[in-house]
């Protein structure tokens, strides 16, 4: 039985987040926290085409945040909602909002900053960034396609 495509999809390299430079978290108002998480090595168009990839990142971040909040006594679940992605083939910016009452915002901000450093978050981004058969061939094969060698002519 022949494979669906004529090429083997090469796995993407691991993603990376510099939490100090690439993760901004802001209190928008008394009920909302917003943030932007910039993930390097992450293909923005893949996330734009397939919203479930963003959902996976949001779910993992929610899980990490809520686990940390429980440890400090905040037992109210906070759901990270990825509202927009931006970027290019080198990085993706995940813009998110989190409904949060004012009394929990400081704990939430600390938890978000701490969760950013968790390997589970970068692993989720790396996994969600993997090329699939439905990715267009020009994008998913960019790493495996090499230009034909230039002809070398010898001059005397």
Domain contains 148? no
Domain contains 146? no
Instruction: Give the model's pLDDT for residue 132.
Output: 80
Cα gap 100→31, rounded to integer Å: 5
Domain contains 94? yes
Domain around 61: 19-117
Count structural domains, the chain: 1
Mean pLDDT, the chain, rounded, equals: 85
Q: What is the percent of the chain where pLDDT is above 90?
A: 74
pLDDT per position as a tens digit, 5-41: 555 567 778 899 999 999 999 999 999 999 999 999 9
* H or E element at residue 105: helix 105-116
Domain contains 133? no
Strands 32-40 and 81-87: unpaired
Domain contains 89? yes
Q: The pTM is what?
A: 0.79
Domain contains 128? no
CATH number of 112's domain: 3.30.70
Instruction: Give the model's pLDDT for residue 30.
Output: 97
Residues 6+ apart with CB under 8 A from 123: none
Instruction: Give the model's pLDDT for residue 97.
Output: 98
Instruction: Give the model's pLDDT for residue 53.
Output: 95
pLDDT per position as a tens digit, 101-151: 999 999 999 999 999 999 999 999 999 999 886 544 344 333 333 344 444
Count H helices and E strands in the chain, helices first.
Answer: 6, 4
DSSP at 88: -
Confidence bin at 156 (pLDDT 50/70/90): low
Residue 90 in this model has a pLDDT that exceeds 90: yes
Domain contains 134? no
Domain contains 49? yes
Residues 6+ apart with CB under 8 A from 85: 44, 47, 48, 54, 92, 93, 94, 95
Residue 153 in this model has a pLDDT that exceeds 80: no
């Amino acid at each position: 039985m022949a494979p669906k495509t004529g090429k083997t999809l090469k796995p993407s390299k691991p993603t990376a987040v510099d939490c100090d430079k690439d993760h901004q978290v802001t209190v928008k108002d008394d009920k909302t926290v917003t943030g932007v998480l910039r993930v390097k090595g992450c293909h923005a168009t893949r996330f734009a085409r397939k919203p479930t990839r963003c959902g996976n990142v949001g779910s993992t971040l929610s899980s990490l945040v809520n686990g940390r909040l429980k440890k400090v006594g905040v037992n109210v679940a906070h759901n990270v909602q990825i509202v927009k992605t931006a970027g290019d083939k080198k990085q993706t910016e995940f813009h998110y909002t989190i409904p949060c009452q004012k009394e929990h915002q400081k704990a939430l901000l600390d938890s978000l900053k701490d969760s950013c450093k968790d390997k589970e978050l970068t692993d989720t981004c790396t996994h969600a960034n993997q090329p699939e058969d439905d990715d267009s061939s020009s994008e998913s094969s960019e790493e495996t396609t090499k230009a034909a060698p230039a002809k070398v002519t010898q001059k005397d």
